[in-house]
Amino acid sequence: MRLSMISAATVAALVGYASSVAILLTAATALGATPAQTASWLLAISLGKAIGSALLSFRSKVPVVLAWSTPGAALIAATSGISFAEGVGAFVTAGLLIAATGLIRPLGALVARIPDGIAAAMLGGVLLPFCLKGATAAQGAPALVLPMVAVFLIVRLWNPAFAVLAAFAAGIVLALATGSDLSAVHLAGPRLEPVAPAFRLSVILGLGLPLYLVTMASQNLPGFATLRAAGYEPPVSAALTTTGVISTVTAFFGAHTVSMAAITAAICLGPDVHPDRDRRWLVGLFYAAAWTLLGLLSPTVLDLIAALPAEVVAALVALALLSPLTGALTGAFAQPDQRLPAALTVVVTASGLAALGIGAAFWGLVVGLLVWGLDHLKPRQA
């Protein structure tokens, strides 16, 4: 055991938790989850990440660390008119699709045929409205939000991974300094709350399918690439099957999808963690322990976020999503022949359009694919 492994795992878990827990709370609010159901969601997904990270790291001897799908949480937060039980039905569907992708190769090949630019554009359209709300929050409470942005920008020059965590800490300090009442924050033991899923076709198409695609495109594929960049061969099939099964099980306690980590994974993969790369997989066990502890603290963390001013939470969400938004828009417009379909996908998805009871992410994907298909029907010049 090396202290460096414990510190790397702890930092990675804290960065991943603090930088996106507010987005999860926003998603739970959008589905009408009760405080007990929200705490169960956070506990279940934390335990799911812990179990999956420990299992995959131990079996593959590769430092595999998992995350919850932050863009997926943003997608959930952008929905409306969906009950919590129907949302859970969509989570179950997404988990089963991820597991099937690990087990059935043709399904993975079918997903891979979706143009990268259009898939990225759908993600960009999901994230864009939340980043815009950050600007509105700055207008509404400049004394709270602008110092958070300044802290974010300064810390980002030193270490981008810590930037959102530092902004979160600054928001808490500013809230206390301006008289916010945090007396409701208390220690409480969490517990899992079972939820009976409800399956409605429009919700499966409008939320379950986009959640699956967003998780695959924005979390799993970059996570595998991060491992390859560090010199490891990722256990792709085992990881998809394991995270899919875990996501399906934890969905019955209100949690959305578990996926590969990318940014936080990089914290656990360097030689400073352990000089022997063949022993570096042990960091996955310490990472699992850190997430178990964070899961047990979930009611207290949710009390803290609920007590913060709405502008602080909106700014925190916006800052946390800036990096994935940048990556999504870069990917959306990288290929010249996909730019118009990608632009239309972003516009339709970001519009919040809901037709036939199906959410905007699905229609954005449909519009983008249709326009892309029409572009490829035109005859080529000799």
Give per-residue pLDDT as tens, 54-63.
999 999 898 8
Residue 243 has pLDDT above 80, yes or no: yes
Tally of CB atoms within 10 A around 284: 27
Residue 382 has pLDDT above 50, yes or no: no
- Spatial separation of the C-alpha atoms in residues 88 and 200, rounded to whole Å: 11
- Can you give the pTM of this predicted structure? 0.77
Q: Using the 8-state DSSP alphabet, how is residue 358 labeled?
A: B
Q: Using the 8-state DSSP alphabet, how is residue 355 labeled?
A: B
Highest averaged pLDDT of the listed ranges 108-112, 145-149, 245-249: 245-249
Higher pLDDT, 132 or 272: 132
Structural domain including 241 reads: 3-142+177-182+196-375
pLDDT mean across residues, the chain? 83
Residue 352 lies in a domain: yes
Residue 148 lies in a domain: no
User: What number is the average pLDDT over the span 290-294?
Assistant: 89
Residue 74 lies in a domain: yes
- Spatial separation of the C-alpha atoms in residues 95 and 91, rounded to whole Å: 6
Q: Which residues make Cβ contacts (< 8 Å) with residue 50, sequence separation at least 6?
A: 287, 288, 289, 291, 292, 295
Residue 223 lies in a domain: yes
Q: Which of 205, 185, 224, 142 is nearest to 308 (CA)?
A: 185
| pLDDT grade for 108, boundaries at 50, 70 and 90 | low
Paired tokens of 116: 């990268």
Distances in whole angstroms, Cα of residue 248 to Cα of each of 100, 109, 290, 334? 11, 22, 22, 34
Q: How many CA within 13 A on the CB side of residue 39?
A: 20
Residue 359 lies in a domain: yes
Residue 187 lies in a domain: no
Distances in whole angstroms, Cα of residue 76 to Cα of each of 25, 79, 174, 336? 10, 5, 29, 30
Residue 281 lies in a domain: yes
Cα dihedral: 171, 173, 177, 181 (round 10): 80
The count of domains in the chain is 1
Residue 137 has pLDDT above 70, yes or no: yes
Residue 151 lies in a domain: no
Are the CB atoms for 70 and 324 separated by under 8 Å? yes
